[in-house]
Structure 1
């Protein structure tokens, strides 16, 4: 295989699901390099970026530019003859056929109202151009493969799939102080996790909050908005709603482990990492039958319709509250389901899907 270089721009970005994916994939590759399970890898990062989390990769800091300018102009020159791997939706057009890029979903085409006009225009143009210049496209689910192929008008066979992992959520001990800080009692609150983007569907949870309030329970909502990317939707409202804002992994683990359930009403997901994290922590999952989430959760979740049909989110919650043994069954199924996903397997899959030379890229 040709030498491999990783695009480290994600190290300069705020952490959302995409940057989480990039960091965990790079960490898995770092562990493989330490074990001698892959050839030496280069990690190319902007000047000043902190790459200390990856001690077994050959880190190269360079450049005077930042952001998209660094990625499009300086990165491809530094990558040289290496196969460049970009893990976070964007990649340099000048790298041509000697690169692979992970596009997580077709959201800028399928759910345009969730994104700012500038963000949407840039991503649409870039995603159309990358396959034309011969880049190898990768994604994280069969759902995303189909949607990306359709919107870019390319053969789905040109897009490789590497599902995500969730073991990162178990890496740190649960920080249970987050419960007391927000007045949450174990088993007496449901958890929602997501940004305030319109497609995340958090605005449909007001009825859920009302149901919880009648039971003397609360709805805790974790996640922060990024106005530079997303156009925000209304938050769920009601006295039972507790806005947590951004939380650490240790805090999120404590929330998953103590929650009655995770309620995930997203209408569009390229993968759906929070449900997988929740299952890995033994938290029952109630989710909308949308996007890639059914592909991830299989029979380990309780499903609802977030678009206004039946069952509604509150109806699924009522069933969880009233049906004996259902919560325990969902915990058991979720733990078994989550065990089938790992970042190590995803990293192995990534290396297997990379082009081995310029003649093979883009196929």
Structure 2
């Protein structure tokens, strides 16, 4: 048996963020079954591989990291009408570990100093673990914060490409594909130091402590006043980083791992 593990959030997180006791119990059973019987385990990041061992246990299976890839279309120039005011964008579901509460708090602190809006894109319905308090807070700041829900891919691309920066405040992240997509679209990334984000973003993102409102507030303030020369340098670094993650590379790593397992006959 071979399996791909994208994260072990159901075991790593606590309380409502994990999906509750029932979800944790089922997840623990499924992951332990993988630990015992899988011959090959594929992980999207070194972080997830380490988390599997920490939360599930040591497995005799071969363990291979197969990072996700960025769709080539994200590198394409896309018409993006000039926004009336600059804005920050956040792409992520409204769940507690996405840490939108910290982002909202930090943004409202800096909103009195900068003209920016905050645009939040992501699904908010159908989750046992959605953050109801954040959903209420999203409606509080008037037109300075816009929660757009789920959108077509083309529109997400357009909004990301036109943003001053993408903010990823997650407390737990198994990979962080939106960060790479933003980099490909020439959008700067402000990312938390949690989970796999530093591993995936490397030196192409600006980082903050996801437990510190003050840290993110300061970073948003700096971002809003950054000159074009600095922005261009970060954008170039981001595109270079995003080009390192391709689906062809993912496919090659996966195929090679499967071939080794088949040839071993174990």
TM-score, normalised by the number of residues in structure 1: 0.65
Q: Which has the higher contact order (CA 8 A, sep 6+)?
A: 2
Q: Deviations over 1:85-113 (max 9, x none)?
A: xxxxxxxxxxxxxx211111121111133
What residue in structure 1 maps to residue 123 of structure 2?
Answer: 224
SS of structure 2 residue aligned to 1:203:
helix
Say if 2:166 is the partner of 1:262.
Answer: yes
- Answering whether residue 107 of structure 2 is matched by residue 208 of structure 1, we say yes
How many angstroms does 1:278 deviate by? 0.3
- 2:262 is matched with which residue? 356
Provide the secondary structure at the position in 2 that maps to 1:153.
Answer: coil
Q: What is the RMSD computed on CA atoms of the aligned residues?
A: 2.4
Q: Which residue of 1 aligns with 2:88?
A: 190
Aligned to 1:141: 45
CA deviations on 1:298-337 (whole Å, 9 max, x unpaired) are 1111111111276x21211111122433322211110111
Match runs of 1:61-140 below 5 Å = 99-113=1-15, 114-117=17-20, 118-140=22-44
1:213 Cα offset (Å):
5.1
Deviations 1:98-145 (A, max 9, x none): x21111112111113313223332122101111212342111000111
Match of 1:330 among 234, 250, 256: 234
CA distance in 2, matches of 1:216, 1:242: 14
Other structure's SS at 2:90 match: strand
Instruction: Report 1:1-16 matches (<5 A).
Output: none
Aligned length: 255
Which deviates the most, 153-162 or 121-130?
A: 153-162
**Secondary structure of 2:102's match?**
helix
1:199-245 superposed Cα distances (whole Å, 9 cap, x missing partner): 11111112214423542220000001253453425325422110010
Structure 2 CA distance, aligned partners of 1:288 and 1:214? 22
Gaps of 5+ in 2: none
Q: Give 3-state SS (helix, strand or coil) of 1:351's partner.
A: helix
Match of 2:243 in 1: 339
- What residue number does 1:316 align with? 219
Distance 1:318 1:195 in 2: 25
Say if 2:36 and 2:59, in contact at 8 Å, map to a contact too. no
Q: Which has the larger radius of gyration?
A: 1
CA distance in 2, matches of 1:231, 1:308: 22
SS at match of 1:190: strand
Question: Which is richer in helix?
Answer: 2
Distance 1:148 1:264 in 2: 23
Distance 2:241 2:84 in 1: 24
